[in-house]
Structures are given as structure tokens and as C-alpha cells.
């Protein structure tokens, strides 16, 4: 297989996945670009979540102080009706957006994962639910950064 054909196939497959994700409502914009955007406000805008209000119906469960920023356990719990999307942002990371999750009907609005944190910063959970976008933020102190 020559290289250009290979590249075309690869690009095609990737574009297909992206188109599908956008259609499924996982991402309102091109996915590759939203992960390369720097800064909370810019990422929120790209997610279509500009102007999201803080909500105490969203809970971020995490330790206050974490020794190793390479593995920070974070759980997001949403009590907002119709929660269908969760995004996790870290305001001081080189890559602001850590992950975006689409939760189809029937999937509980509660999810735990592990992220890297370069330094002490705020983790922000952005939730899309029936009432639009809302967010919660929580500071996590990092003893040794883990984005190297």
C-alpha cells in the first residue's frame, strides 16, 4: 500500500469517527481542535458551554492534596436531570481539556477516572443536561506535578 493511500485511509477513518461523534452530540466542534485549545474560557466556548453557571447539583469527589500529579483520581457526580455529557478540565495543565464523556440514556450520571495534573489547580466538571450547561470546580493541591 503506498503512503498517500494509507494516509488517505487513515484520515478518512478518523474523519468518519469524528463526524459520528459530532452527530452523536459528543462534540460540538472538531475533536482534535478542542483538545489543542488552551485556557478554560476558550475550551468552554468550543464545547458550546460558554456562560455555564456553577451548580451545586454537580459534585467532584477527589482528595484535597495529592502526592503524585501523574495519577489523580476524580469522580464526577451529577444530579442534573438529563445529564448527557461530562467534560473534565484542568485549568493549569498544558492541555486544558482532559476528557469528554457522552452518556447515553440509561447510563448513570456518575463517573470516576484518573487524570494528570501539572501543578495545584482547579478541576472543572462541565455537564450538559436538560437545562443546558452547568459546571462545578474543585481545587486539588499537587505535591509533585505529573505532566512530564
Partner 1 sequence: MSDPVRIRATVAEGVTQVRLMAAHPMETGRRRLAEGALVAAHYITDLTVLHEARVVLQARFGPSVSRDPYLVFSFAGGAPGETVSVSWRDNRGDSRSDTVTIR
Give me the 99-138 binding string for partner 1, x by CB under 8 A, dash otherwise. Answer: xxxxxx-xxx-xxxxxxxx---------------------
CB atoms within 10 A of CB 61: 12
The residue from 24, 50, 61, 63 that contacts partner 1 (CB under 8 A) is 24
The residue from 8, 15, 17, 81 that contacts partner 1 (CB under 8 A) is 17
Query: Of 115, 50, 64, 66, which Cα lies nearest the Cα of 89?
Result: 115
In 3-state terms, what secondary structure has residue 100?
A: strand
> d(Cα 114, Cα 75) in Å, to the nearest integer?
8
DSSP conformational letter for 132: E
Q: Is 84 in the site for partner 1 (CB under 8 A)?
A: no
Among the residue ranges 25-33, 44-52, 126-134, 137-145, the one whose residues contact partner 1 (CB under 8 A): 25-33
> d(Cα 24, Cα 38) in Å, to the nearest integer?
25
Binding site for partner 1 (CB under 8 A): 10, 13-14, 17, 21, 24, 26-27, 31, 35, 70-72, 75, 90, 93-95, 97-104, 106-108, 110-117, 146-148
Amino acid at each position: 500500500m503506498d503512503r498517500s493511500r494509507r494516509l488517505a485511509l487513515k484520515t478518512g477513518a478518523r474523519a468518519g469517527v469524528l463526524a459520528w461523534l459530532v452527530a452523536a452530540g459528543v462534540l460540538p466542534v472538531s475533536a482534535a481542535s478542542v483538545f489543542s485549545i488552551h485556557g478554560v474560557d476558550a475550551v468552554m466556548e468550543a464545547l458550546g458551554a460558554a456562560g455555564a453557571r456553577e451548580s451545586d447539583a454537580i459534585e467532584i469527589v477527589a482528595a484535597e492534596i495529592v502526592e503524585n500529579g501523574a495519577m489523580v483520581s476524580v469522580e464526577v457526580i451529577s444530579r442534573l436531570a438529563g445529564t448527557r455529557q461530562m467534560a473534565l478540565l484542568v485549568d493549569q495543565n498544558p492541555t486544558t481539556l482532559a476528557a469528554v464523556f457522552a452518556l447515553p440514556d440509561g447510563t448513570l450520571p456518575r463517573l470516576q477516572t484518573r487524570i494528570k495534573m501539572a501543578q495545584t489547580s482547579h478541576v472543572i466538571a462541565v455537564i450538559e443536561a436538560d437545562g443546558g450547561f452547568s459546571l462545578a470546580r474543585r481545587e486539588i493541591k499537587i505535591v509533585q506535578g505529573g505532566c512530564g
